[in-house]
Amino acid sequence: MNSSRNDSGTDNGPLNTMLEKFTDPSLDELFINGSRCLQLNFKNESSSEPSIFSDELSCLDWLYNFADAQNVRLDARFPASGGVLSGGGYRWHAVIPPMSPHGALFCLRKARLGDLALDDFSLSEGVFSQVLNHLEQGLPLIICVRTATGKTSLLCALLKHLYLNHRVVILEAIDEIPLLSQRWVKLTAVPPSVEYGGISLHKALKESLRLSPDRYVVGELRENELRTFFSAIETGHYGGLTTLHASNERQVLRRLKDLSGIDYDFNSSIGSLGLLFMKSSGGLGLARFTLAKDC
């Protein structure tokens, strides 16, 4: 394989090979399963071909150097990491042994978050007006759906439609949502390293409240992000948007209670929290809107 090296000594050949695949505009995601295969996920189909790595050692060695060039830690003590590719445009994630015992894994996804507008979503009758009315009152909203169905794209479309002239503070564990307005700002968590303990998303929230946000966004609720989101609600700040992997009201409430922990007064926090459900299949669409307190 012909390859070149950048100034940091990283072999650019594998990455260049991957990026060449994305010259096909219908390719959404590329997945490397070590030296076993390369999977290409298009809009309506997927295909497999031989891996660009001849053996597991060369794949692992390249990932170490790649992560280092991205200023991200990836080693046996931190065997999973990801981020936005330097220069933007792509989201990547890597998992290595011992977390992935049969070899290294690497996923590269084309970022399309700034490309879609609300007109690209099929809006169920009455749902869109309910959502806009809810947000115009400055009430918090969670966009709920299964993974890879467009929830973050919808979040970006709502932000573009409503808040280009507002100071939106975006809080993310990994830098993903594009800054589509000069008025928007972003704070991200800083992962720990050997020398440094890192900065939590909750710490980033505390700093963001000193920036007088008109609206705030927490990219996705996974674990500690729930505490961050509810804490922001309880500060009395106007408006808040986020996303969550869930497909129905019962699943949302169960996940929120599980994430919040037994030491958190969950029932007093949901107040006027709105839940917007997207269709679980069949393209980009909105299914229904409800309030968490009514579930």
Contacts 24+ apart (CB under 8 A), 45-51: none
- Kindly state whether residue 147 falls inside one of the protein's structural domains: yes
Q: Cβ distance 174 to 107 under 8 Å?
A: no
- What SS3 class is residue 85? coil
Residue 114: pLDDT over 50: yes
How far is residue 274's CA from residue 6's CA, in Å, rounded to a whole number? 48
How far is residue 99's CA from residue 75's CA, in Å, rounded to a whole number? 10
Q: Determine the pLDDT at residue 2.
A: 40
Q: Are residues 102 and 178 in the same domain?
A: no
Please tell me what DSSP assigns to residue 177.
S
Q: Are residues 213 and 289 in the same domain?
A: yes
The separation between the first and the last C-alpha atoms of the chain, rounded to the nearest angstrom, is: 57
Report residue 103 as tokens: 């070899």
Q: Are residues 125 and 262 in the same domain?
A: yes
Q: Are residues 151 and 259 in the same domain?
A: yes
The tens digit of pLDDT for each residue in 23-57 reads 998 898 999 999 999 999 997 789 999 999 999 99
List all residues 6 or more positions away from 224 whose beta carbon is below 8 Å from its beta carbon: 200, 201, 202
Report residue 289 as tokens: 């809107």
CATH of the domain at 36: 3.30.450.90
Residue 116, phi-psi category: left (phi > 0), alpha (psi -120 to 50), beta (remainder): beta
In degrees and rounded to multiples of 5, residue 101 shows phi and psi of -65, -20
- Smallest Cα–Cα separation from 232: which of 201, 262, 261, 259? 201
Q: Domain range holding 127?
A: 118-294
The tens digit of pLDDT for each residue in 235-279 reads 666 678 999 888 788 888 887 777 666 555 666 667 788 999 887
Is the full-model pTM beyond 0.85?
A: no
- Smallest Cα–Cα separation from 8: which of 64, 73, 68? 68
